[in-house]
Amino acid sequence: MRILLVASAFNSLTQRVFAELGDRGHSLRVHLTVGDDPLRDAVRRHAPELIVAPILKATIPRDVWTAHTCLIVHPGPLGDRGPSSLDWAIHEGARSWGVTVLQADEVMDGGAVWAHAGCPLPPVGKSDLYRNEISDAALEAVLRAVERFGAGDFTPRPQHGEGWDADDHDRPYLDQNVRRVDWSSDATAVVLRKLRAADSQPGVLDTLFGEEWFLHGGHPEDELGGRPGELVATRAGAVCRATVDGAVWIPELRRRRRTGGSAPFKLPAAMALRMALGDRLPALPEVPAPLSPAEDRRTWTDIGYREDGPVGFLRFSFPGGAMSTAHCRRLLEAYRFASSRPTSVLVLGGGRDFFSNGIHLNVIEAAADPAKESWANINAMNDLVERILNTTDRLVVAAVGGNAAAGGAMLAAAADEVWCRDGALLNPYYRLMGLYGSEYWTYSLPRRVGAAAAVRLTQRAMPVTAVMAHRIGLVDQVVEASPQEFAPRVAHMASLLASTSDVQKRIAAKKAAREHDEAVKPLADYRAEELALMHRNFYGPGEPYHALRSAFVRKEPVRRAPPHLEPGTERAPVPRG
C-alpha cells in the first residue's frame, strides 16, 4: 500500500512505524509538517492510498482529510483527548493506559476509531514509556488499523451514539502551574509522579539558588534526607533533593531561557549548577552508589553489577542514552571489575529504554572547547569498545532492551552476541551528525553484516527494526518481550548460554578468531583510521558537525524532512551484504 506518514518529527515512534510498515512491504513516504500548503503538495505528489500520522502537533487541513483517510495515533485510551494525554496519566498515577488510532475529522482526537491497544504504565519517565510501552501499543494499533483499511470492509467506530461506552476525558495542556513541586508539602511519591510526568520534556520548572531551572528525571532515594527542598548530595552528576519524607535523585537540569538568550539545553545536574553558579554553589557531598546495591534499596545509580552463578550483568542507563567522557570512563572501570570476576558470560545493558546513543552531544556543546571534548569523548568511548573487543576469556552479550544509535549501536555490535528486544529500533550510522564515526565500527559492522551492507547501513541512515537487524546479521537474537519482561528474559537466556556444554569451546574459538583478526589488521589500525577522519570532522574547516550538534542539542525545529527522507528515497528493506 502507498502510505504517506505525516509527522511533527521523525522521532522514535515515527521511525518505528516507518520501519515496521516498511518491513511489511508497504511503500512509504514521510512528510514532516511545516504548514498546510506543503502538506497538500506532498499529498498531491505522492497520491497516497492512506495517510498515517504517528505524532502530530498540528491539524490536518479539512480538504486533505475529506479526500483521504488520515489515521491519527493518539497516545491515550478510548475516549481520551487532549495534547498532554500521557503526562496526565502519569501525573495522576494511572497503572495502565493505551493508544487509539482515530480518523482525522473536525474535532481534535474526536474521529472514528480504527483500532486501539492497551498497555501497562510502570513507574518510569514519560519518554521511556513513550519509546517502549506506548510505542509497542501504538504499533499494535497502527498495524491493525492499516490491515483493516487494506481489507476495505471495516467500518470505524464513531465516538458517540449507540455502542460507544468509553468515558470521555478531554483534558487540557498540562502546564507548569500543575506540574510545580511544592517541596514543603509534596511527599516523595507525589514529587516522583510530577517529575516522571515531565521527563524528559518539558521538565518541571523550579527555583534553585534564586534561578529558574527545569528539573529532568526523578528517582527515589531511601537513605538520604534533609530539609525539604534542600540539595543534599551529588552522585555521578545527579543531585539529590530532600522531600518531606525522603529524597529524590534528579539527573539533569536545564536553565530557563532568558529573553534574547540562546536556548539552554539539558546537562548533568551537578555540572549545570557548577557552570551557572561557580563558587556560589554550596559544597555538596558526593555519595557514590555501591556498584551492587542491596536488592531492597531504593536509590539511583546509572551503572550496576550483579552476578548469578557464571553470569555477570553489567547494567547501565544514561539519560537520553548519551555517554559523556565521564560516563565512558566509569563504565570502563566497572567493565574491568566485571571482567575480573569468575564468570563465563558477561551481559551488558539489559535495562529498559535506550541502550546507548553514543557520545554526549550536550556535554560537548557546553564544553569550553567542544572539538577537544568531542575528541576526549570519542577516545573514552573507543577505550571501552576496545576493551569489549579484546575480552577473550568469556562471552560478552549486548542486551539491547531499547533503542540504540550511532556509537551506541556500534558499542552493541562489538559484543559477541547482540540480543535485541523486538520493539527496539537501531540507527547504526553517524552521517546525520556530520561524523564519520568510530567505536571500531569499520571492524565490527562489516564482520556482522558484510562490507556492502555496512556501507549501505551507514550511508542510507535509516532506522532498522530488531527483526530486520536480525535478518541482516546485526542482531543475533530477537527477544520477544515487553519492556518490563526483557531483563528477566535476558537473565534466563544468559544462564542457558552459560550452561551449554560448549561454552568453553566457544570462548576458545572467539579467542582464536580475535588473534587471527589482529594478525590480519590490528584493532589499533582501525582506530587510527577512524580517528583520523573524526579529527577532520572535529577540527577541519567547513565541517558540518558543530552546527548540526548545536541545532540538535537546542532542538531547533526541523523545517523540512532530512535530506535522506526527501522524495525519491522510498523505503525498501536493507539488502543483505
**To the nearest whole angstrom, how small is the minimum distance from the Cβ of residue 399 to ligand COA?**
18
Q: Nearest 5 degrees, angle CA 393-CA 427-CA 489? A: 50
Three-class DSSP category at 286: strand
**In the structure grid, which three cell numbers stand for residue 370, read together?**
567542544
- What's the gap between Cα 333 and its chain centre? 24
**CA separation (Å) from 441 to 34, 317, 409?**
35, 22, 9
> Which strands sit side by side in the sheet containing 2-7, from one edge to the other?
27-32, 2-7, 50-53, 70-74, 96-103, 113-120
Taken in order 17, 22, 27, 29, the sign of the CA dihedral is positive
**CA separation (Å) from 21 to 2, 13, 134, 269?**
10, 12, 17, 39
Q: Out of 266, 315, 456, 571, which residue is the one contacting ligand COA (CB under 6 A)?
A: 266
Rounded CA-CA distance 107/104 in Å is: 8
**CA separation (Å) from 259 to 256, 379, 535, 537, 552?**
10, 37, 36, 33, 21
Q: Which is nearer to ligand COA, 78 or 420 (CB)?
A: 420
Touching ligand COA, residues 492-551 (CB under 6 A): none
**To the nearest whole angstrom, how small is the minimum distance from the Cβ of residue 323 to ligand COA?**
8
Q: Is 12 in the site for ligand COA (CB under 6 A)?
A: yes
Q: Which is nearer to ligand COA, 234 or 382 (CB)?
A: 382
Touching ligand COA, residues 423-452 (CB under 6 A): 427, 430, 432-433, 435
Touching ligand COA, residues 345-384 (CB under 6 A): 357-362
Query: Which stretch in 132-140, 234-242, 389-397, 405-413 sits in contact with ligand COA by CB under 6 A?
Result: 405-413
Binding residues for ligand COA, how many (CB under 6 A)?
24
**To the nearest whole angstrom, how small is the minimum distance from the Cβ of residue 163 to ligand COA?**
37
**CA separation (Å) from 151 to 73, 119, 566?**
20, 26, 29
Query: Which stretch in 34-42, 47-55, 400-408, 465-473 sits in contact with ligand COA by CB under 6 A?
Result: 400-408
Q: Which is nearer to ligand COA, 16 or 448 (CB)?
A: 16
The identity of residue 334, as a single letter, is: A
Query: Which stretch in 141-149, 301-309, 318-326, 393-401 sits in contact with ligand COA by CB under 6 A?
Result: 318-326
Q: Which is nearer to ligand COA, 6 or 115 (CB)?
A: 6
**In the structure grid, which three cell numbers stand for residue 254, read together?**
536545564
Q: Which residues pair with 397 in a beta bridge?
A: 347, 417
**To the nearest whole angstrom, how small is the minimum distance from the Cβ of residue 151 to ligand COA?**
31
Q: Which is nearer to ligand COA, 156 or 320 (CB)?
A: 320
Rounded CA-CA distance 562/572 in Å is: 17
Q: Which residue has the cell 574547516?
A: 541
Q: Which is nearer to ligand COA, 112 or 548 (CB)?
A: 548
Q: Is 321 in the site for ligand COA (CB under 6 A)?
A: yes
**To the nearest whole angstrom, how small is the minimum distance from the Cβ of residue 266 to ligand COA?**
6
Q: Which is nearer to ligand COA, 13 or 338 (CB)?
A: 13
**To the nearest whole angstrom, how small is the minimum distance from the Cβ of residue 233 to ligand COA?**
24
**To the nearest whole angstrom, how small is the minimum distance from the Cβ of residue 263 to ligand COA?**
12
Q: First and final CA of the chain: distance in angstroms?
A: 27
Q: Which is nearer to ligand COA, 54 or 358 (CB)?
A: 358
**To the nearest whole angstrom, how small is the minimum distance from the Cβ of residue 463 to ligand COA?**
7
**To the nearest whole angstrom, how small is the minimum distance from the Cβ of residue 363 to ligand COA?**
8
Backbone φ, ψ for residue 361 (5° rounding): -65, -30
Contact 306, 346 (CB under 8 A): no
Q: Out of 11, 27, 379, 484, which residue is the one contacting ligand COA (CB under 6 A)?
A: 11
Q: Which is nearer to ligand COA, 312 or 321 (CB)?
A: 321
Q: Which residues pair with 418 in a beta bridge?
A: 398
Residue least distant from ligand COA (Cβ):
358
Rounded CA-CA distance 307/316 in Å is: 15
CA gyration radius, the chain: 24
Q: Out of 406, 412, 464, 507, which residue is the one contacting ligand COA (CB under 6 A)?
A: 406
Q: Is 466 in the site for ligand COA (CB under 6 A)?
A: no
Q: Which is nearer to ligand COA, 317 or 403 (CB)?
A: 403
Q: Is 127 in the site for ligand COA (CB under 6 A)?
A: yes
Provide, for the chain, the percentages of residues in helix, strand and coil under a 3-state DSSP scheme, each rounded to the nearest 5.
40, 20, 40
**To the nearest whole angstrom, how small is the minimum distance from the Cβ of residue 133 to ligand COA?**
15
Q: Out of 4, 17, 322, 449, which residue is the one contacting ligand COA (CB under 6 A)?
A: 322
Backbone φ, ψ for residue 560 (5° rounding): -150, 165
**In the structure grid, which three cell numbers stand for residue 16, read together?**
518505528
Contact characters 197-216, ligand COA, x per CB under 6 A: ---xx---------------
Contact 441, 530 (CB under 8 A): yes
Q: Which is nearer to ligand COA, 272 or 497 (CB)?
A: 272
**To the nearest whole angstrom, how small is the minimum distance from the Cβ of residue 77 to ligand COA?**
23
Rounded CA-CA distance 12/545 in Å is: 22
Query: Which stretch in 289-297, 319-327, 488-496, 563-571 sits in contact with ligand COA by CB under 6 A?
Result: 319-327
Rounded CA-CA distance 34/559 in Å is: 6
Residue 488: CB partners within 8 Å, gap ≥ 6?
none
Q: Which is nearer to ligand COA, 81 or 266 (CB)?
A: 266
Backbone φ, ψ for residue 227 (5° rounding): -70, 130
**In the structure grid, which three cell numbers stand for residue 270, read together?**
551537578
Q: Which is nearer to ligand COA, 228 or 428 (CB)?
A: 428
> Which strands sit side by side in the sheet containing 404-405, from one edge to the other?
404-405, 425-427, 464-465
Name the residues that contact ligand COA, by CB under 6 A.
11-12, 127, 200-201, 266, 320-322, 357-362, 403, 405-407, 427, 430, 432-433, 435
